Structure 1
Amino acid sequence: MSVFIGVLIAILCYSMLNIGQALQKKAASTLPDIEKTDLKGNLKNFLKNPVWLIGWIMATVQWYI
């Protein structure tokens, strides 16, 4: 039974990582060009984008599961 739970957790984590990265890439494609924006502006753009934040949270949380 514990192996089954371990496999389910691994599948969940891997899915969260992939979905999180896909959301981050989708959101990043809608942001202004990174090279034309300063560091502060880039951070502001990323952190104010809810889709990017959800992706980042999913990708980060899966590391702690």
Structure 2
Amino acid sequence: MHQIKLFKGIETELSQLQDEVNAWLRDNQNLRVLNIFGNIAPQTLRQQPGGSMGDRQFAPSDVLMTVVYEKS
């Protein structure tokens, strides 16, 4: 039976997300990984004080990684 494991991070901390996924894979070598895929959410414009349209800044986007696996 297929199962999933979800990992969530933000785009400015991708190396931490990568480390988390790799650590989980190392700790679960008895699993058969069928697929790994991810998605990055659209960026949202941060609200500027005073409603200024200059110097637009975007908040870091959420990143979702999905591992599809089955138990061996």
TM, length-normalised to structure 1: 0.32
TM, length-normalised to structure 2: 0.30
From the CA coordinates, give the structure whose radius of gyration is larger. Answer: 2
More strand by share: 2
